[in-house]
Structure 1
């Protein structure tokens, strides 16, 4: 994430059961940059621009291959 997305660091969190309609365990891996607005576990929620999520996914797939 640091190299491909230009992140300065990474926030990792795991969640199970709470606020879920079907209990399961999942992890959040969030790229971080200074001034990104993350406060505790809450960050500003914004919609991706058209094609932005797909571009990020492709960049991460390429980095993992």
Structure 2
């Protein structure tokens, strides 16, 4: 845990969040600034600053986050499709320096994304 990290504070229960999913490795909750009708953040319980910091030992955790995204999408009936995004670094749009996966759905997604 990083005591200065917003997501670590949520994980510790210091900041409330509507947890829509939780297991031993991750939690998921709605984004406070949703960009789609369905917009969840899937956050690993292990503090990892970004995708750029991922190492081979994080392979199972990264795969787990994608499976959680797929399960959440199924549970929310996003049968027509959805987008999974990991913003990395300042130019990648990352604003919280704790790796997290965005699950967006409920509307058509366009390309390029932005």
Q: What TM bracket, shorter-length normalisation? A: 0.3 to 0.5
Flag the structure with higher strand content: 1
User: Could you tell me the TM-score, scaled by structure 2's length?
Assistant: 0.25
